[in-house]
Structure 1
Amino acid sequence: MATQIRAEHELHRRRLSRNVGLGVVLVLFVGIVYGLTIAKVGTDPNDDLGAPWAAAQEKAAK
């Protein structure tokens, strides 16, 4: 009995392209969420320590 290598079915190609597309969309979504998080949590160059509440916490600690 010889085993034949079958050609890939069209359904598999369509499914693969759909999965790759979905993967790209998910990576872009994660990138956007990460970028927005960094922008929101990022430091402000106008502040001494980079956070407006840092001075208040320093005063409270003294």
Structure 2
Amino acid sequence: MALRKEHELHKRRSGLNKGVGILLAAFVVLVMALTMVKVTSATFKFPDAQGEQN
């Protein structure tokens, strides 16, 4: 049981925080999906290391 009753402003901010969290998670999933698609494509090649010259 809480010592004090939660203020109405905190309830409104809680909803906003959940929305921002969902948008942030969606952005992370989008970046991960685009990375996986690019890395697993047939034309993807790792860049040659420039430090390994003979």
TM-score by length of structure 2 reads 0.67
* Greater alpha carbon shift after TM alignment, 34-43 vs 21-30: 34-43
**1:11-45 superposed Cα distances (whole Å, 9 cap, x missing partner):** 0001111111100000000000100010011143x
Which stretches of structure 1, 4 residues or longer, exceed 3 Å deviation after superposition?
none
1:47-62 to 2 correspondence within 5 Å?
A: none
How much identity, in percent, do the aligned residues show? Answer: 44
Structure 1 position 8 matched with structure 2 position 6: yes
Structure 1 residues not aligned, in runs of 5+? 45-50, 54-62
Give the length in aligned residue pairs. 45
Q: Secondary structure of 1:8's partner?
A: coil
Unaligned runs of 5+ residues in structure 2 are 46-54
Indicate the structure with greater helix content. 1
Larger Rg: 1
1-side partners of 2:6 and 2:44: how far apart?
Answer: 60
Matching residue of 2:52: none
Match of 1:34 in 2: 32
- RMSD across aligned positions (CA): 2.4
